[in-house]
Amino acid sequence: MTQQKSLSVYYSRKGNNYVSGSIVNLPIGNTEVIAKKIQALTGCDLFQIETVKAYPVDYMETTRVSQDELNQNARPKLAETVADIASYEVIYLGYPNWWGTMPMVVFTFLESYDFSGKTIVPYCTHEGSGLGNSERDIKKLCPTAKVVSGLAIKGSTVGRADNDVANWLKKLDLIP
């Protein structure tokens, strides 16, 4: 195993969220928890995808806004850009499952850079739908990247997912 320069990129929406049947206020989003575990395990850099326009605080309103975005195949604008993405060989890509795939801003992100020859390592947090169509969508958006087999983690279990994350990365030969 050779050490490759890697970046943990994630989108995560903190605040009101639906967890195992009720609305709770998450000070740190579920996907962010996993993105930081990956950073701790691999020593990679970290980048948070953020939209210029914030989603509503209310969970149900966010589900409506995001469903419209999906139906319109929208590309919400990115608030920040990654410096020197060309220098990274491995991109860990984390997102919540929204309507069976990634939030549309992750589509924007994947279309904003050239991922040719890079390895994309996808994972999502979800409330029952797993990775949904996301791996297929990533492959469509980044046809010249190597997209490896992703990991799905139930949002309510992120606090105890350390072993699952470490075992997945070991299996992919990304950590010893």
C-alpha span between 64 and 42 (Å, rounded): 36
**Per-residue contact track with ligand FMN, 146 to 165, x per CB under 6 A?**
---------x----------
Of 28-36, 41-49, 139-147, 165-173, which part binds ligand FMN (CB under 6 A)? 28-36
Return the ∠ at Cα 125 (arms to 104 and 21), rounded to 5°.
105
> Nearer Cβ to ligand FMN, position 12 or 118?
12
Q: Which two tokens stand for residue 61?
A: 């309103």
Q: Among 6, 29, 102, 118, which residue interacts with ligand FMN (rule: CB under 6 A)?
A: 29
Output the CA torsion sign for 160, 158, 81, 89: positive
> Nearer Cβ to ligand FMN, position 131 or 147?
131
Residue whose CB is nearest to ligand FMN in the complex, by number: 155
List alpha helices for 1-153, DSSP H.
Answer: 30-42, 59-71, 104-112, 134-141
Of 38-46, 68-76, 78-86, 125-133, which part binds ligand FMN (CB under 6 A)? 125-133
Residues of this chain that interact with ligand FMN (CB under 6 A) are: 12-13, 17, 26, 29-32, 62-63, 66, 96-100, 125-129, 155
